[in-house]
Structure 1
Amino acid sequence: MRIQRSLVFCALGTLSLLTLVAGKALIDQQTAESQANSATVAQQRIGWDHDHHEVHEHHYHEHHHDPGFWKKKVTWKEGWKKIWKPAKKQIWNPSWKQIWKPIWVPVKVPAWKDIKVPAWKQVWKPIWKEIKVPAWKEIQVPDWKKIWKPVWVPTKVPAWKDIQVPAWKQIWVPVWKEIQVPAWKEIQVPEWKQYWTPQWIKVGIPGEKYLGKDPEGWEYTSHDLWKKKLVWKSHWKKIWKPAKKQIWVPSKKLEWKEEWKQIWKPAKKQIWVDDKKLEWKEAWKQIWKPAKKLIWIPDKKLEWKESWVQIWKPAKKQIWVEDKKLEWKEAWKQIWVPGWKEIWVPAWKKIWRPVIISEWFPTPDHHDHHHEHVEHGWDRKDAQPQGSNKVVWKRDDKATQLKPVATVDFQSAKATEVRTSAAVGTKPIATAAAAPTPGQGFKFPGA
């Protein structure tokens, strides 16, 4: 698989190289053809044909019209180009710093606690000892006596009781009833608004129009003319206008509602109540008569008795109490340290770009009496020394660019013109310099 991939890459590289070579050859061929055509045009512009030099000379002497020529000049125009230059920007980078923070560590420390421990102490305490002593007691002995006593016999007698009996009373209570009341809500409704925009249209003018006469008396007319007419074109735009919409909003209405309330009204009810009737009944009553009885009554005798009492004596007990100890604990804190970051900032660089301008030059005088002053007294600052080449340009009406025609050696052309005029006696013909080598295109200075 790797070998096949290498072979594919080699084939693609060879194909691209052949394509570049073929394109380069085609470009060189087109450049050579264009330069050959330019040399022909230059010869036609600079010189004249040998067969028609007399006609041109006669025409030159009649009109004295100087055709001149246009020359392209390359100047350098100042400009500014936006570039990016490296710079440094201060940033803050996160880092960690070791710190020590105090913390409380719970510890246990010894301490003495006051406690009470039990102990026994011998004491003598007085106690009362129970004894019995004789005595006479006045007592009551029972006896029975016949008596008549009144008793109440329970009976039932009628009576009237005031009671409350339930009844219903009609009342009216106010209640709030939910109702809907009409209201107006501000809304936006769509509407179409017509507006007119001006627009130029092309309108034909029928018939012919008289344009005038020329110096020879010929009249000129035109047909099918067109004129511009301003018309207003209708458009519709959607707008929103305010309107009111009836809505129903909730409200409350106070109404009286019939209700029945339970009340209690007084009434009388016959009941039987308990009553008592006094009657006399025979009975035997127990009575008590006095008598004497020998009894032993308890008494107390004071004696001292040995005893041990438990007492609590103070003591100390070692205990461990909770305490806190201050210690330092290692920790890490995030800090920000300054740093520099490589960035690119915009800057402006001064550049010089070539600009081609056209200058018009008159044709040098080719008469015999001005051979020694070929330049006709022109003193131009851009005149080149003898042997330097000038670039002659022609204007292309179909394009905005100016194309170079050929490279002409004006000094050689003038020398040839002088020799030809002296030998033949006709108007000299400018000789074009050798055409540039195919593939050698025009380059700007510094390119």
Structure 2
Amino acid sequence: MSSQVRDMTKGNPGKLIFLFALPLMLGNVCQQLYTMVDTVIVGQVAGVQALAALGAVEWIMWMVLGVSTSITQGFAILMAQDYGAQKWRKLKQTVAHSYRLAAVMAVLLFILSQAGAYWILTLLNTPDNIIDMSLLYLRIVFCGIPVVAAYNIFAGVLRSLGNSRTPLIAMVIAATINIILDLIFVGWFHMGVAGAALATVISQAFSALYCFFAVRKIDIVHITKEDFQTVPGLNRKLLTLGTPILFQDVIISVGGLVVQFVVNGYGFLFVAGFTATNKLYGILEMAAISYGYAIITYVGQNLGAGRISRIKIGVRASVVLAFLTSAFISVIMYVFGRHILTAFISGDPSQTEQVLGIAWHYLSIMASVLCILYFLHVYRSALQGLGNTIIPMVSGIIEFFVRVGVALFLPMFMGQNGIFYAEIAAWTGAAVLLAPSYYVNIKKYRDS
């Protein structure tokens, strides 16, 4: 069997989960790096309006590009279970059918996103002085939907087999290419937001190619034409796993869009400050997402192997890891966060000081309760690894209503600062459902 796979049904659970998550964290650092470089270069070279233009599309991009991430994450659950059960023929069929579904999804998503880009910007009350820049950025980034889908499905295959190292290398390659192209397109050719978007799409294409060639080297997922022959019920099973995750993430995104609508109403300076902190949101959450992928693979493989006691031990270890990691990141943000935020902001001193104050206030609030977000990811991912994607979907619905409710009503009593509490309230509402649900669900299983 290829050295590019890892059996997570043997060995120390906590160590396995941490070592699996570590490359993903580093990969997320690289991903956040090139996202932040976009923001820093655009903010410093093109100014506050361009920074606000990127911020105005943050949740739109998260929703649209996240579709392929969500649904392929569901596909990877079944791959991990097949791998743990050592059902090699079924694993190949699962991978082949996942490829086909991901391709169809990418085509449909590309058409819908291009058709609806201007409409959704208008619906979100995007300020007139930035809407053209925001639309141009979206048009170019959405052209990269097929390569984003390709990366996600290939990386999903690798992660389901216990390989988190290759996606890391792919992200390093993407980050390096993106930074170089940002400097060329934005810094040298002064292409503004268009240059930043083009750099992102090209770098994503290279990461997808790298993961594709890595998957080709793994014998147990070397796909033939026979594997694409329709297996009754397999597409339905994949979609049953993937669609609730997709719906969960889409409805969370819609809640974020409502927040963006409210934020846009406070003017472009507030949008710029909100954007600066949202660019650090990825760093706040990156380890949580990495633990999530590790837990899904770990739980999925051990469920396939019938090793339920290992699942319980692994999830307990993950809770401890989540708490320690979130506490460390919170401390880093309190010490260095304000200085980091200044990298995103340039322009008139009176404006930049106001933008920095908005950004720091928001960041300090999120950092104070970051552990809630990390617990949310642990329990959500454990449930998904067990094949239960319905409760995580319901948690997404709870996030939506809490986020929207706080965003719309709390500012009536606290002014614009009330919007800062929408995110942490949404985390709390989801975590309250997910944690007890995991413990109820795991009791249904027995070691085989």
* TM-score under structure 2 length normalisation: 0.21
Instruction: Tell me which protein shows more strand as a share of its residues.
Output: 1
**Greater per-residue helix proportion:** 2
Q: TM-score, normalised by structure 1?
A: 0.21
With a CA cutoff of 8 Å and minimum separation of 6, indicate the structure with the bigger relative contact order: 1
